[in-house]
Chains A and B, each alone.
Chain A
Amino acid sequence: MFGRMIRGTLFRQWKKMLMIAFTIALGASLASAMLSVMLDVGDKVNQELKTYGANIRVVPKSASVLSGLYEVEDGGTGGYIREDELGKIKTIFWTYNIVDYAPFITVDAALENGEKVKVVGSWFDHHLSLPTGEELDAGLESMRSWWELESGAWIDEQKESSGKEAMVGTELAGKLGLSVGSRISLAGKESSDTFTVCGIFDAGGDEDNEIYIQLDNAQALGGLDNKVDSIDVSALTTPDNELAERAAKDPKSLTVAQYELWYCTAYASSICWQIQQALTDCVASPVRQVADSEGEILNKTELLMILITILSLIGAALGICNLVTASVMERSQEIGLMKAIGAYNGSVSLLVLTEVFVTAVIGGTAGFFAGFGFAQIIGHSVFGSSIALRPMVIPIVAVLVFIVTMIGCIPAIRMLLGLRPTEVLHGK
């Protein structure tokens, strides 16, 4: 009988029930869309902030002390990182947080007319096949997104015939009268070679006076086989907190539990620490200009999204609550009739609650998927990538919808219980 009554209401009054389901769906979709976006916004913004370039710089231990200060003429500061160890960066605990990295080797070379220029060897779109089976294209093309190509193209390392190509800074190119396709011969300490200019870039900094070539070419020029003098690493990091700051000073000052927590959180300092352990004799330090600012902006954006989400959750909750109250109250006549023919208060309330609950389940499920769709629209149009489905969104939305609809029923049920059947049926 109970089941039949419920089914009866749902089918006979499907218009009203549809309305309730629709509102609940709206509220649920709002909640799930905002929660999904909020939970994913940190990762997405973090990715976007990678356009600022590397947030960790790795230098050899001996060079980190004073190499820049003495301006040693022969360039022989002694310390180098070994190129064959570069792959090890992708073997640390936080390997998946390292999105990009590029090694650098700087050599001085003489042009044909004897003028000295700074030549930098690096990766451009270097293809890495890691022992873990991961494939990665790393290099300057993605790490120097602010470089503006005035003409030509980036050096393509993956091209079959990619040989001796060079990219020249705009100021140097202007001075030497170079354009795409010109050939320059560079004489390094060990050997000399001729390169074809394939691109001219404007970096808005010191790089405008430098020549960029592939790593192995530069190593050959300087006779520095297997040597690299710095590595730029772009990693997704968690904003620093007090623990990270303490750990950055001295990881050994932490207790075991704190150390575990620090090591297993993607702080810039713990990633640096792990890189230092992976590579021989090197010092990795966060580039504060990028790392610190990233933290600030990430924290602010996340907080902003949390507050907007809270507001829309409140809005969704009150919207559902209101409608449920309004539409249950509307049925006072029907309930009055039930009570007149002898229904108990308890069974009437149970009937109303079950009806609303069934509607809420239908509406909530539909709303959840709709909301996830909205989240995808936001993700694709803003960040150009889809927003991950976080499992925790489902229980949050379910509990929210359940509590809110039940709360919405309370005033209505209280009113229904207070009804006097005669008055209602009489139409007062």
Chain B
Amino acid sequence: MKKRRMFIRMITASLMRRRSRMIVALLSIAIGATILSGLVSIYYDVPRQLGAEFRNYGANMIMTAADGSFTSADMEKGKKAVPSAELVGAAPYRYENIRLRENPVVAAGTDPEQARAASPYWLIDDGEWLQNSGELLIGAKVADSFRLKVGDDIELSFTPEAEREAAAENKTADDNYKTFRIVGILKTGGTEEEYVYMTMGDLEELTGVSDKIDLVELSVSASSDKLGEYAEDINLSVPSVHASLVKRVTASETTVLSKLQALVLLVTVVVLALTMICVATTMTAVVAERRREIGLRKAIGASNSSIIKEFMGESMLLGFFGGTVGSVLGYVFASQVSIRVFSSSISFRPLLVPITIIISIIVTGLSSLMPIRSATEVDPALVLKGE
């Protein structure tokens, strides 16, 4: 009991007395531990965060009708196969040929909020996003050819199925009309620029046919293997729906994301290895300068093992403190990175704290073991004499 008290006193006293050197050592351990815990948290969080960034490419899964009828109830059932946390957006689309100033145009009915979530790359060139009933979002090419601009009111017409024959026989068909206000002009660089977009309800009103969907675009934040499982689930559980992956997006995402992950992993490994060696050399230097002290202890009768034990205890204590400080700082760093780069918070990994502390203790312990051992092997008289 007494012995242990003495041990603890010696360690703490030595730390306190040689304050400036110990701060140097502690600082270097803390930096190493910060880099360790910071980079490891980033490494674990990057796939999730980058995966979310890749959702900017838009839908990676689509659901279409398998047997002709596709209703919103089917869509809801299909959506259930995907965990809601992973579902970024699920936008239903229905396409109809309507007429704008007696020229045929493809109109798409959708859920504006979901469409925006599923296709973040759509750019509203002018005006704002579609929100309410009675509003119309038109593709840039449509705007160009009909010379339409934001704020214009325009009447769209649709010939219902029953009236088509009349139209074919050159009789005047009894069309449906509805007036819309143009709220925005859409730019995508793709075929979307040739369509006009309205809310699903408006399209149902215009056509007189309700609850019909042509296609659902799903943007799911998951790996392509998992996506494949979800698609299979949907195909099995909802027979009226056929889900398939958008290969261009999923295949490319897998290639690029795996490269980026490998990059972060390698960078982490290289930085960690170099930092740990740096910490080790500093510890070695700090311990090596105490050869005289070791010599003195030996001269007054301390055994080698007790000296090693005491010095190791001291550096491990340093390692413990450094590791604790470092794991806190590392978390702060990682969450700063996460907020700045991905504007989202990072999850705290409790397991990382003990791991950081243990690795710090091991690194400091091992790096001081070598100089201590070499110091204990020397004849005390020589050391004290200063040779």
- Chain A positions near chain B (C-beta within 8 angstroms): 19, 22-23, 26-27, 29-30, 33-34, 37, 41, 45, 48-49, 51-53, 57, 64-66, 68-71, 145-148, 202-205, 249, 285-293, 296-297, 300-301, 303-305, 307-308, 311-312, 314-316, 318-320, 322-323, 325-327, 329-330, 333, 374, 377-378, 381-383, 411, 415, 427
Given the known interface contacts A53-B248, A288-B190, the answer about A293 and B56 at a Cβ–Cβ threshold of 8 Å is yes
Tell me, in angstroms, the Cα distance from A29 to B34 when the chains sit together: 19
For A19, the chain B residues whose CB sits under 8 A away are 281, 284-285
Give the one of B28, B123, B263 with max A CB within 10 A: B263
Q: Is B246 an interface residue (CB 8 A)?
A: yes
**From B31, B57, B270, contact of A318 by CB (8 A):** B31
Give A411 to B24 CA distance when docked, in angstroms. Answer: 11
- The smallest beta-carbon distance between B275 and chain A, in angstroms, is 5
Q: How far is the CA of A53 from the CA of B246 in the complex (A)?
A: 14
> Chain B 232-271, CB within 8 Å of chain A: the 1/0 string?
0000000000001111110110011001101110110011
Q: Is the CB of B189 within 8 A of A287?
A: yes
Q: Are B282 and A319 in contact (CB under 8 A)?
A: yes
> Would you call B248 and A292 a contact (CB within 8 A)?
no
Q: Are B189 and A382 in contact (CB under 8 A)?
A: no
Contact B252 A26 (CB under 8 A): no
Complexed CA–CA distance, A319 and B188 (Å): 50
Q: Which residue of A lies closest to B384 (CB)?
A: A427
**The residue from A51, A293, A316, A411 contacting B255, defined by CB atoms under 8 A apart:** A51
A297-B53, A322-B282 given. 16 additional CB < 8 A pairs?
A27-B278, A45-B259, A52-B248, A145-B251, A148-B247, A204-B245, A286-B189, A288-B188, A289-B190, A308-B267, A311-B271, A315-B275, A316-B274, A318-B28, A322-B25, A333-B386
Cβ < 8 Å to A, chain B residues 13-36:
20-21, 24-25, 27-28, 31-32, 34-35
Is there an interface contact between B271 and A322, defined as CB atoms closer than 8 Å?
no
Q: Are B106 and A303 in contact (CB under 8 A)?
A: no
Candidates B24, B123, B267, B281; contact of A288 at CB < 8 Å: B123
Known: A34-B271, A51-B256. Is A319-B279 also a contact (CB below 8 A)?
A: yes
- Docked Cα-Cα span, A146 to B249, in Å, equals 8
Chain A residue numbers with a CB within 8 Å of B266 are: 377-378, 381-382
In the complex, the 3 A-B pairs of residues with the closest C-beta atoms, listed nearest first: A204-B247, A319-B278, A146-B251
**Residues of B close to A286: CB separation below 8 A:** 189
Min Cβ gap A407→B in Å is 13
Contact of A51 among B245, B252, B284 (CB under 8 A): B252
**Given A51-B256, A287-B190, A292-B123, is A319 in contact with B248 using a C-beta cutoff of 8 Å?**
no
The contact of A146 among B25, B142, B252, B271, by CB within 8 Å, is: B252
CB of A303 within 8 A of CB of B251, answer no
A48, A205, A249, A305: which contacts B256 (Cβ < 8 A)? A48
Residues of B within 8 A of A305 (CB): 267
Task: Report which of A69, A303, A312, A415 forms a contact with B194, defined as CB distance below 8 A.
Answer: A69
Query: With A30-B271, A300-B50, A330-B289 given, is the CB distance from A22 to B281 under 8 Å?
Result: yes
Q: What residue of chain A has the Cβ atom nearest to residue B271's Cβ?
A: A312
B296, chain A: closest CB distance, angstroms: 10
| Nearest-CB residue, chain A, relative to B262 | A382
Q: Which of B53, B123, B248, B386 has the most CB of A within 10 A?
A: B248
Complex: chain B residue closest to A305, CB-CB: B267
Provide the bound-state CA to CA distance between A318 and B31, in Å: 8
Q: Which residue of chain B is the closest to A381 with respect to CB atoms?
A: B266
Of A291, A293, A322, A378, which one neighbours B27 at CB under 8 angstroms? A322
List, in ascending order, chain A residues with CB within 8 A of B264's CB: 304, 308
**Interface residue stretch chosen among B81-89, B203-211, B335-343:** B335-343
Report whether B262 and A146 are in contact in the complex, using a CB–CB cutoff of 8 Å: no
The one of B106, B247, B282 in contact with A326, judged by C-beta atoms closer than 8 angstroms, is B282
B248 touches A204 (CB 8 A): yes
Quick check: B252 and A311 within 8 Å, CB to CB? no
| Selected A-B contacts with CB under 8 Å, 27 pairs | A19-B281, A37-B263, A45-B256, A48-B260, A51-B255, A52-B248, A53-B248, A57-B190, A65-B141, A68-B141, A68-B194, A69-B104, A71-B104, A145-B255, A288-B190, A289-B57, A290-B57, A300-B341, A300-B342, A301-B50, A304-B46, A315-B34, A315-B278, A316-B275, A319-B275, A320-B278, A323-B28
The answer to whether A378 and B263 have CB atoms under 8 Å apart is yes
Cα-based distance from A30 to B279 in the complex (angstroms): 13
Distance (whole angstroms) from the CB of B336 to the closest CB of chain A: 8
User: Given A41-B263, A51-B252, A326-B286, are A26 and B274 neighbors across the interface (CB < 8 Å)?
Assistant: yes
Interface pair B247/A307, CB less than 8 Å apart: no
Q: How many residues of B contact A (CB 8 A)?
A: 78
Q: Which residues of A contact B28 (CB under 8 A)?
A: 318-319, 322-323
Nearest-CB residue, chain B, relative to A290: B57
Q: Which residues of A contact B38 (CB under 8 A)?
A: 311
Chain B interface mostly helix, strand, loop or mixed? helix
Q: Which residues of A contact B246 (CB under 8 A)?
A: 204-205
Point out which of A70, A304, A411 has the most chain B C-beta atoms below 10 A from its C-beta.
A304
B121 at the interface (CB under 8 A from A): yes
What's the nearest-Cβ distance from chain B to residue A360, in Å? Answer: 15
Distance (whole angstroms) from the CB of B318 to the closest CB of chain A? 13
CB contacts under 8 Å to A, within B75-125, are: 103-106, 119, 121-123, 125
Q: Is the CB of A26 within 8 A of B267?
A: no
Instruction: Kindly provide the distance from the CB of B108 to the nearest chain A CB, expressed in whole angstroms.
Output: 13
Q: Tell me if B248 and A326 are in contact (CB < 8 A).
A: no
Does B277 sit within 8 A of A, measured CB to CB? yes
Give A57 to B32 CA distance when docked, in angstroms. Answer: 49
Known: A51-B255, A53-B248. A23 touches B189 (CB 8 A): no
Q: Are A297 and B50 in contact (CB under 8 A)?
A: yes
Q: Which of A27, A48, A65, A300 has the most CB of B within 10 A?
A: A300
Task: Kindly report which residue of chain B lies nearest to residue A320, judged by CB atoms.
Answer: B278
Interchain CA distance A291-B20 in the complex, whole Å: 55
Q: Are B274 and A30 in contact (CB under 8 A)?
A: yes
A291-B281 contact, Cβ under 8 Å, with A37-B267, A205-B247, A325-B24: no
With A326-B24, A378-B263 as known contacts, state yes or no: A291 contacts B189, CB within 8 Å.
yes
Q: Mark B318-352, 1 if CB is under 8 A from A, else 0.
A: 00000000000000010011001110000000000
Given A30-B271, A30-B274, do A311 and B333 touch, yes or no (CB 8 Å)? yes
Q: Are A205 and B281 in contact (CB under 8 A)?
A: no
Cβ–Cβ contact B248 & A285, under 8 A: no
Are A48 and B259 CB-contacts (below 8 A) given A288-B187, A303-B341?
A: yes
What are the residues of chain B within 8 A of A300 when measuring CB–CB? 50, 53, 341-342
A329, B188: Cβ atoms closer than 8 Å:
no
Give Cα distance in the complex from A201 to B31, angstroms. 53
CB distance from B224 to the nearest CB of A (A): 11
- With contacts A23-B278, A288-B122 known, is A315 near B247, CB below 8 A? no
Determine which of B145, B190, B256 lies in contact with A65 in the assembled complex, contact meaning CB atoms within 8 Å: B145
Which residue from chain A places its CB closest to the CB of B251 in the assembled complex? A146
Q: Chain B residues with Cβ under 8 A from A303's Cβ?
A: 340-341
B245 and A26 within 8 A (CB): no
